[in-house]
Amino acid sequence: MPVQRYLIVNADDFGQSQGINRGIIESFENGIVTSASLMVRWPAAVEAAAYARAHPDLSVGLHVDLGEWAYRNCDWTQLYQVVEKNDSAAVAKEVSRQLSLFRSLLGAEPTHIDSHQHVHRSEPICSLLVDVARRLNIPLRLYSQVRYCGEFYGQMEDGAPLWNNISVEALVSLLAHLSPGITELACHPAHHVDFDTMYADERLREREVLCDKRVGEFVANEDIQLCSFHIVAGAQV
């Protein structure tokens, strides 16, 4: 008997703007999104948290936010910085602050941890978040038993569009090749663009694809079990 394939479809940047919130909510209610990662620093995080509290089936993790970069005019530009990423003490303090704010907003612990623009792939952030994930006994993206898939993404590193990557056909192909076990598929849906980022209009396409009936039908026909991070408690680093 084949091993079951479980799929967590996690939407990043929940709480960054109302347009992102609405896109994630629509993709959860009408599409295949099952989970989200909350950016607690932004005003729209209050709205996102209220929705999450009212919909406990949506697992919500902490999307650690230390800043954002964008590739513009042939160079990388920092849109904002929360703390210096190489300052261990400052990072630790900010992560603790964001975790406390998450608990205040949700009234619960995060179901998982990841970071904005994957800054936790480098030190000292990596070690700090590994430690937090171990203490909370929750998965940290890229460092847990949950396999990570970031291929549903519509840009190259320099911002050049890859629209074919975020088509119905591309997503169905990704799902067709899922390995047995638990996979996290990252996504970034939005309903409208009301935020400053290099990844903007692509989010609108993502929402359309995630809510496309053909995708949901394929998941059902392939016997892929949609789930959230609620089922992987203890699958920590």
Mean pLDDT taken over the chain: 94
Which are the catalytic amino acids? Answer: 12
Q: What would the pLDDT profile of 181-219 be if each residue is shown by its tens digit? A: 999 999 999 999 999 899 999 999 999 999 999 999 999
Domain ranges of the chain: 5-232
pLDDT per residue over 104-136, tens digit each?
999 999 999 999 999 999 999 999 999 999 999
pLDDT in tens, 70-97: 888 778 888 889 999 999 999 999 999 9
Query: Distance of CA 51 to CAs 57, 58, 111, 192, Å?
Result: 11, 9, 16, 18
Does residue 237 have a pLDDT over 60? no
pLDDT band at 176, cuts 50/70/90?
very high
Q: Does domain 5-232 have CATH number 3.20.20.370?
A: yes
Calculate the alpha carbon distances from 50 to 14, 44, 54 in Å.
Answer: 12, 10, 6
Is pLDDT above 50 for 1? no
- What pLDDT shows up at residue 72? 80
Q: Which of 203, 166, 146, 161 is nearest to 27 (CA)?
A: 203
The whole-number average pLDDT for the span 151-179 is 94
Write out pLDDT tens, residues 6-63.
999 999 999 999 999 999 999 999 999 999 999 999 999 999 999 999 999 999 999 9
Q: What is the reported pLDDT for 31?
A: 98
